[in-house]
């Protein structure tokens, strides 16, 4: 397969040009990426147009020294992208130092970033360099940068403007050569509008903004990611044989909306590998919220169809998902669902039996009508 359209940046490459190229070890398909993937090499995976574009942007951004602000929901791969930028940059032989700004108490964050002189405050028993000094010649990754308080923001801005850092309690400034990559999963522009984040710092950090897409907007990447994690986990567990999901379980994985994005998918694969006793991993091996998920509306159904475009999926499977989706649209009301589908109610009932979907009638005021699942079977709450 030609490598011109990358689906993975693998091993972060040694390429230093503005173009990602075959010599940058860009994997072209799942097989290719998994061959060159090992447990020590983090790999950004994706074959959707939006991910291919992201790889291309990362390839262009990496060789520069400009500050990058990576935004995106939790689990979309912000930290992985930050490491990719560092490892594709001329700074890759120097340190990549990361700090989670929300994990350090407000009172310690400045000492952590800038260092301190002995005796400056209680507990400062010795001179200590800060993370800026430790990242010298390399990259400092400020994760969850929105958590910095206004005092730390002011000091950070000064460091970025003057390119020098002064340890707390010290008199002299130390010149620093550090590239800054920051990440946040909150709306930093909104934080600026609300006065929680300095606008001057915001613009200094986001010279090159990078937005990571949510997994639900790139359903076509699910197959590739599942394959990638199955291979990766097998390798980490020292297993020769790579296990696979049944077609039904793969459908469930494709249809799930992944609110936790790639991290949730990775965890789901790990869960299935731990729970599954057979060579093939089935519905019963999936986390309950995935096994029990039913597409909530016809829009979901359209995206499911979209995800199937590259695969050959049995017509009966499409029919099943469509019937269940319409049934849910009508809150489990079979009469209305059958009318909307243009079939007899008896035909709908036969289909549901065939799918193992048991329609039960019960009334619970506090529970909205809709599809529910009991003991692994689908049941519907009906009017």
Ligand X SMILES: Nc1ncnc2c1ncn2[C@@H]1O[C@H](COP(=O)(O)OP(=O)(O)OP(=O)(O)O)[C@@H](O)[C@H]1O
Q: Which residues bind Mg ion (CB under 5 A)?
A: 78-79
Does 80 engage in binding with ligand X (CB under 6 A)?
yes
Q: Which does 45 bind (CB under 5 to 8 A by kind): Mg ion, ligand X, none?
A: ligand X
272/348 with CB nearer ligand X = 272
Q: Check the CA dihedral 74-80-85-90 and report its sign.
A: positive
Task: Report the alpha-carbon distance of residue 1 to residue 193 in Å, rounded.
Answer: 48
H helices of the chain, where? 30-36, 49-61, 78-87, 106-114, 131-134, 150-162, 188-193, 199-205, 222-236, 247-255, 261-275, 288-291, 298-308, 315-329, 334-341, 345-355
Count the neighbouring beta carbons within 10 Å of the beta carbon of residue 204.
17
Strand partners, 371: 380
44/249 with CB nearer Mg ion = 44
Task: Report the alpha-carbon distance of residue 279 to residue 261 in Å, rounded.
Answer: 26
Does 270 engage in binding with ligand X (CB under 6 A)?
no
For ligand X, the binding residues in 281-340 under the rule CB under 6 A are: none
Does 77 engage in binding with ligand X (CB under 6 A)?
yes
For ligand X, the binding residues in 8-67 under the rule CB under 6 A are: 42-46
Does 213 engage in binding with ligand X (CB under 6 A)?
no
Does 152 engage in binding with ligand X (CB under 6 A)?
no
Strand partners, 140: 97, 180
146/285 with CB nearer ligand X = 146
DSSP states along 306-354? HHHTTS---HHHHHHHHHHHHHHHTTT-HHHHHHHHTS-HHHHHHHHHH
Q: Which does 185 bind (CB under 5 to 8 A by kind): ligand X, Mg ion, none?
A: ligand X
199/259 with CB nearer ligand X = 259
| Among the listed residues 6, 11, 59, 75, the single contact to ligand X using CB under 6 A | 75
φ/ψ (deg, to 5) at 235:
-65, -45
| Among the listed residues 60, 244, 263, 369, the single contact to ligand X using CB under 6 A | 263
| Among the listed residues 15, 89, 185, 380, the single contact to ligand X using CB under 6 A | 185
- Contact between 188 and 197 (Cβ < 8 Å): yes
- Three-class SS state of 238: coil
| Among the listed residues 6, 28, 47, 78, the single contact to ligand X using CB under 6 A | 78
φ/ψ (deg, to 5) at 122:
-55, 130
φ/ψ (deg, to 5) at 165:
-125, 145
Q: Which does 263 bind (CB under 5 to 8 A by kind): ligand X, Mg ion, none?
A: ligand X
43/334 with CB nearer ligand X = 43
Shortest spacing between CB 143 and Mg ion, in angstroms? 5
Shortest spacing between CB 147 and Mg ion, in angstroms? 12
Does 249 engage in binding with ligand X (CB under 6 A)?
no
Does 209 engage in binding with ligand X (CB under 6 A)?
no
Q: Is 42 exposed, middle or buried (0-12, 13-18, 19+ CB in 10 A)?
A: middle
Nearby residues of 366 by Cβ (< 8 Å), 6 or more positions away? none
Q: Using CB under 6 A as the criterion, what x/- string covers residues 108-127 for binding ligand X?
A: --------------------
Does 69 engage in binding with ligand X (CB under 6 A)?
no
**Minimal CB distance residue for ligand X:** 77
Shortest spacing between CB 291 and ligand X, in angstroms? 21
Q: State the DSSP code for 168.
A: B
Shortest spacing between CB 279 and ligand X, in angstroms? 24
Shortest spacing between CB 145 and Mg ion, in angstroms? 11
82/250 with CB nearer ligand X = 82
Instruction: Give the binding site for ligand X (CB under 6 A).
Output: 42-46, 72, 74-80, 185, 262-263, 266
């Amino acid at each position: 397969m030609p490598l011109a359209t990358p689906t993975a940046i693998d091993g972060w490459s040694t390429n230093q040009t503005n173009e990602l190229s075959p010599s940058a070890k860009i994997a072209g398909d799942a097989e290719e990426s998994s061959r060159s993937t090992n447990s020590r090499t983090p790999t950004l995976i994706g074959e959707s147009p939006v991910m291919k574009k992201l790889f291309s942007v990362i390839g262009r951004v990496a060789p520069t020294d400009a500050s990058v602000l990576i935004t995106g929901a939790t689990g979309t791969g912000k930290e992985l992208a930050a490491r990719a930028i560092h490892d594709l940059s001329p700074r890759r032989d120097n340190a990549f130092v990361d700090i989670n700004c929300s994990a350090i108490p407000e009172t310690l964050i400045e000492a952590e970033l800038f260092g301190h002189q002995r005796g400056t405050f209680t507990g400062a028993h010795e001179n200590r360099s800060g993370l800026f000094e430790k990242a010298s010649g390399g990259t400092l990754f400020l994760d969850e940068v929105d958590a910095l308080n206004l005092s730390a923001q002011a000091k950070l801005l000064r460091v970025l403007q003057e390119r020098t850092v002064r340890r707390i309690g010290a008199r002299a400034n130390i010149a620093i050569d550090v590239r800054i990559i920051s990440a946040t999963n909150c709306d930093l522009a909104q934080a600026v509008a609300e006065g929680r984040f300095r606008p001057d710092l915001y613009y200094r950090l986001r010279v090159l903004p990078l937005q990571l897409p949510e997994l639900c907007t790139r359903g076509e990447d699910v197959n590739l990611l599942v394959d990638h994690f199955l291979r990766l986990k097998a390798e980490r567990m020292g297993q020769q044989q790579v296990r696979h999901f049944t077609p039904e379980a793969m459908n469930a994985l494709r249809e799930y909306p992944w609110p936790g994005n790639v991290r949730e998918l990775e965890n789901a694969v790990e869960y299935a590998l731990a729970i599954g006793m057979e060579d093939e991993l089935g519905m019963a091996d999936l986390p309950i919220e995935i096994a029990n998920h039913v597409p909530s509306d016809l829009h979901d159904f359209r995206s499911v169809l979209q995800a199937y475009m590259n695969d050959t999926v049995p017509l009966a499977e499409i029919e099943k998902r469509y019937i269940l989706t319409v049934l849910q649209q009508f809150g489990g009301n079979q009469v209305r669902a059958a009318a909307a589908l243009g079939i007899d109610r008896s035909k709908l009932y036969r289909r549901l039996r065939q799918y193992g979907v048991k329609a039960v009638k019960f009334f619970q005021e506090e529970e909205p009508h809709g599809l529910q699942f009991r003991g692994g079977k689908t049941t519907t709450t009906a009017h």
